[in-house]
Structure 1
Amino acid sequence: MNAQTTKFLIDGPVGKIEIALDLPGTAPRGMVLVAHPHPLFGGTMDNKVAQTLARTFVQLGYAVYRSNFRGVGQTEGEHDHGIGERDDLMAVIEHMRAQPGQGEWPLVLAGFSFGTAVLSHVAVRLREAGVSIERMVLVGTATSRWEVAPVPENTLVIHGELDETVELTSVFEWARPQELPIVVIPGAEHFLHRKLHILKRIIVDAWR
Structure 2
Amino acid sequence: MSLTEIPLLLDGPAGALEALYLGRADARGLALICHPHPLFAGSMHNKVVATLQRAARDAGYATLRFNFRGVGQSPGEHANGEGEIDDAEAAANWLLAEHPGLPLTLCGFSFGACVAACLGGRLERRGVEVAQLLMLAPPVERFAVDGRLPEAGPLYVIQPEDDEVVTPAAVYAWSAALERPHELLKVAECGHFFHGKLNELKALVLPRLHS
Q: Provide the C-alpha distance between the structure 1 equivalents of 2:8 and 2:204, rounded to a whole number of angstroms.
A: 30
| 1:109 aligned residue | 106
SS at match of 1:15: coil
Q: Provide the C-alpha distance between the structure 2 equivalents of 1:84 and 1:11, rounded to a whole number of angstroms.
A: 14
Q: Would you say the 8 A contact 1:116–1:138 is kept in 2? A: yes
Matches within 5 A, 1:4-153: 4-23=4-23, 27-99=26-98, 102-150=99-147, 151=149, 152=151
- Deviation of residue 177 (structure 1)? 2.2
Alpha-carbon RMSD across the aligned residues, in angstroms, is 1.6
Matches within 5 A, 1:160-171: 160-171=160-171
Q: Provide the C-alpha distance between the structure 2 equivalents of 1:94 and 1:149, rounded to a whole number of angstroms.
A: 24
1:168 alignment partner AA: P
Residue 196 of structure 2 corresponds to residue 194 of structure 1: yes
Gaps of 5+ in 2: none
- Deviation of residue 29 (structure 1)? 0.5
Question: TM-score of the superposition, structure 2-length normalised?
Answer: 0.91
Q: Would you say the 8 A contact 1:160–1:190 is kept in 2? A: yes
Q: Structure 1, residues 147-174: CA drift from partner, whole Å, max 9, x if none?
A: 1235346211101010011111111121
Q: Structure 1, residues 47-80: CA drift from partner, whole Å, max 9, x if none?
A: 0000000000000000110010111111111000
Q: Structure 1, residues 55-109: CA drift from partner, whole Å, max 9, x if none?
A: 000000001100101111111110001011111111111111122xx12111000
Q: Provide the C-alpha distance between the structure 2 equivalents of 1:169 and 1:65, rounded to a whole number of angstroms.
A: 31
Q: Provide the C-alpha distance between the structure 1 equivalents of 2:146 and 2:72, rounded to a whole number of angstroms.
A: 27
Q: Provide the C-alpha distance between the structure 1 equivalents of 2:202 and 2:3, rounded to a whole number of angstroms.
A: 20
- Deviation of residue 192 (structure 1)? 0.5
- Deviation of residue 23 (structure 1)? 4.0
1:78 alignment partner AA: E
Q: Structure 1, residues 114-147: CA drift from partner, whole Å, max 9, x if none?
A: 0011111111111110100110111111112211
Question: TM-score of the superposition, structure 1-length normalised?
Answer: 0.93
Number of residues paired by the alignment?
A: 204
Q: Provide the C-alpha distance between the structure 2 equivalents of 1:33 and 1:149, rounded to a whole number of angstroms.
A: 21
Q: Would you say the 8 A contact 1:86–1:122 is kept in 2? A: yes
Gaps of 5+ in 1: none
- Deviation of residue 3 (structure 1)? 6.0
Q: Provide the C-alpha distance between the structure 2 equivalents of 1:145 and 1:194, rounded to a whole number of angstroms.
A: 26
